[in-house]
Structure 1
Amino acid sequence: MSISVKTENVSTPSPVRVEMTDASGAHVELVLLVGDQKPIRHAFDTTEGTISAPLHRLRRGDHPCTLVVLALTHKDNPNGRYDVSVKVNGQPAASANGKIPAGRGNDTGRGDFVLSVL
């Protein structure tokens, strides 16, 4: 695990919407865990763009969050660069960018932050 995921705690009013963005050259899979909510996951293929998801039933208070990033190369997609971000109601919450180390076909990382719903 060598992907460094930078995180920031976020405070926001309800309703809460999450945006996960990929501007990579690698195949990237993101999994966002928010408290006891169902995981939000998406597999991006080379610079796919942004997905948006509402967080329904998220009560006021602090919710621990984890972003897991998996970057892969393969025969049809040898570019090992990754550049991803997560925003909560437009506020930066997590990001990672870099390149899969030479001689490897994958890399992973995770970062934790707190989402405070006001």
Structure 2
Amino acid sequence: MFRPRAGGKHPEQQFVQVDTRNILFICGGAFDGIEKKIAQRLNTRAMGYGRMNADSVDRNNLMQYLMPQDLRSFGLIPELVGRLPVLTYMEPLGREALRSILTQPKNAIIKQYEKL
């Protein structure tokens, strides 16, 4: 159970109880520099179970090897990382995809700007 305070930070306010069992939390961010943490982890694992062959590691796309321990070494607290059972990443958008986003939708920002 999560018990946030209702409203602001007033000391006399009541706590509100929220059942978080069936709530899906989606977290996102840029995590600039996390590739360095992933690269460090992949270079140090030289033997044992889960060993990766250095030749098989795609250095151009290190995000595909993201693990919870990378988020912890990046600075996220273990209590938060432990509540994220699925980790994934998104490919950066290319020039054409960005152009399409700016020009194609009905309410595209470029169309709105041209009307001004």
Calculate the TM-score normalised by the size of structure 1: 0.24
Task: Compare CA radii of gyration and give the structure with the larger one.
Answer: 2
Q: From the two aligned structures, give the one with the greater helix fraction.
A: 2
Q: From the two aligned structures, give the one with the greater strand fraction.
A: 1
Q: Which has the higher contact order (CA 8 A, sep 6+)?
A: 1
